Amino acid sequence: MISIRVRDIAARRQEIEQKRQNPLGYRAFYEHRPEGEQLPLITVELATPVYRMANYRTKTRQLSYVHRSALPADYFETGEEDVQAQRVQHELLLELAKTGSGIQIKLILEALQVDQVQTEPLLLTLDGVVVNGNRRLAAMRELFQEDPARYQCFQNVQAMVLPEVTGNDVRRIEVKLQMRPETRLPYDWTDQALAVRDLQLRGIHKSEIVTLMRLAKDSDVDVIAERLSEAEIYLADFLGSREEYGAVGDQEQQFIELQKGLRTKTSAAEKELARKLCHVVTRHSRELGTRAYDCRLAYGAKTVEVATRLAERLDVDATPVTGAPVADGSADDLFGDVGALAAC
């Protein structure tokens, strides 16, 4: 396991402040102030920067790790200065550094292995926290520890330093930089949705979120938040693990279809019925293959019809269809036969 050390925050800040007073040069930066600004460019030891724990890109992975490891909910939130939490964050980032998307995005770790050069500076706060470049930092650290002689070029890294910024400033900057579609690894849909929700909770106006996240219209903010809520209902009520966002990482389409179906229903009982049908399909989507998409009618236009036919085929109580209370276990009986569901 890689060796991670966290220097005292005061020492980091003092070093960075001294170096930015006598920088290597300046770089134009336009993601903080509309008019732009010149940020000082400095070099720091590879061990100096600190991974930013509020990184939206790793949010779902952090939540899953906390759930699996039975850790406090604020483990990462309060662990930015903690060596062990930084080490875990390193592993999460390294996994992403080995991931690409399509032919336009080259794997970060692979590129650094081949080129053996840092082509883009990190972006740091005055405290040495990485606002942009967390994955690159993880990859450079991994390579340097693997072979210090070969990757000596990463012993010191270049970084641009932001002026004093607020927490919301940092969030805005991160999203602006990470949402550039031509150069960045796309967010997982759950990471994007969690980012949208967090920005809302931080008091950022809906119209600004649309711009930051490159959405089409203001209503998309509410649609994304609603989709996340439906996924969380599935995780909590059906899987019993609300934080395991990895279980829905490739299931966005199921929840898009569920949203469409729920909008057509006025009965609370029928909406709940649609959710249960969607949850079964989602759970067994890999078994169903392409038939999973065909099953969308079960939680769309034909919810009651499908549930009634299932009840008849399985010879179970059909009271859920009528809106009567569902007895413990009866929902599992009614919706547990995925083969029968697929045939409806």
- For residue 30 the two structure tokens come to 């336009």
Q: What percent of the chain has pLDDT over 70?
A: 82
Query: What mean pLDDT is reported for the chain?
Result: 84
46: pLDDT strictly greater than 70: yes
Residue 180 pLDDT class (50, 70, 90 cuts)? low
* Contact call for residues 50 and 128 (beta carbons, < 8 A): yes
Residue 324 pLDDT class (50, 70, 90 cuts)? very low
Mean pLDDT score, 15-39: 93
Mean pLDDT score, 71-77: 93
Dihedral, 39, 43, 48, 49 alpha carbons, nearest 10: 40
Alpha carbon distances (Å) from 154 to 115, 128, 162, 235: 12, 17, 22, 41
336: pLDDT strictly greater than 70: no
Distance CA 106, CA 47 (A): 25
Q: What pLDDT is stored for residue 289 in this prediction?
A: 60
Distance CA 9, CA 15 (A): 10
Most distant pair of Cα atoms in the chain: their distance = 79
* Contact call for residues 186 and 101 (beta carbons, < 8 A): yes
Residues 6+ apart with CB under 8 A from 29: 36, 37, 38, 39, 160
Q: Out of 45-54, 91-100, 278-287, 302-311, give the one with best mean pLDDT.
A: 45-54
- For residue 221 the two structure tokens come to 């903010």
101: pLDDT strictly greater than 80: no
User: Which pLDDT tens digit goes with each residue over 151-160?
Assistant: 999 999 999 9
- For residue 56 the two structure tokens come to 């939206």
264: pLDDT strictly greater than 60: yes
103: pLDDT strictly greater than 70: no
**Structural domain boundaries in the chain:** 9-164, 250-343
331: pLDDT strictly greater than 50: no
Mean pLDDT score, 273-296: 75
The amino acid sitting at 207 is: S
Residue 129 φ/ψ, nearest 5 degrees: -85, 135
Q: What angle do CA 157, 134, 114 make, to 5 degrees?
A: 60
Distance CA 307, CA 318 (A): 8
Q: What pLDDT is stored for residue 338 in this prediction?
A: 52
83-92, 167-176, 296-305, 331-340: which has the minimum mean pLDDT?
331-340
Residue 326 pLDDT class (50, 70, 90 cuts)? very low
Mean pLDDT score, 101-127: 78
Q: What pLDDT is stored for residue 116 in this prediction?
A: 86
Q: What pLDDT is stored for residue 294 in this prediction?
A: 65
332: pLDDT strictly greater than 70: no
2-11, 16-25, 141-150, 260-269: which has the minimum mean pLDDT?
260-269
Q: What pLDDT is stored for residue 304 in this prediction?
A: 72
71 Cα distance to chain centroid: 19
Mean pLDDT score, 264-282: 84
Long-range Cβ pairs for the range 221-229 (8 Å, 24+):
221/196, 223/259, 224/192, 224/193, 224/196, 225/193, 225/196, 225/197, 225/200, 226/259, 227/189, 227/193, 227/252, 227/255, 227/256, 227/259, 228/190, 228/193, 228/194, 228/196, 228/197
SS (H, E, C) the chain: CCCCCCCCHHHHHHHHHHHHHCCCEEEEECCCCCCCEEEEEEEEECCCCEECCCCHHHHHHHHHHHHHCCCCCCCCCCCCCCHHHHHHHHHHHHHHHCCCCCCCCCCHHHHHHHHCCCCCCEEECCCCEEEECHHHHHHHHHHHHHCCCCCHHHCEEEEEECCCCCHHHHHHHHHHHHCCCCCCCCCCHHHHHHHHHHHHHCCCCHHHHHHHCCCCCCHHHHHHHHHHHHHHHHHHHHHCCCCCHHHHCCCHHHHHHHHHHHHCCCCHHHHHHHHHHHHHHHHCHHHHCCHHHHHHHHHCCCHHHHHHHHHHHHCCCCHHHHCCCCCCCHHHHHHCCHHHHHHC
More confident residue, 344 or 40: 40
User: Which pLDDT tens digit goes with each residue over 238-263?
Assistant: 888 877 888 888 889 889 988 988 89
Residue 102 pLDDT class (50, 70, 90 cuts)? very low
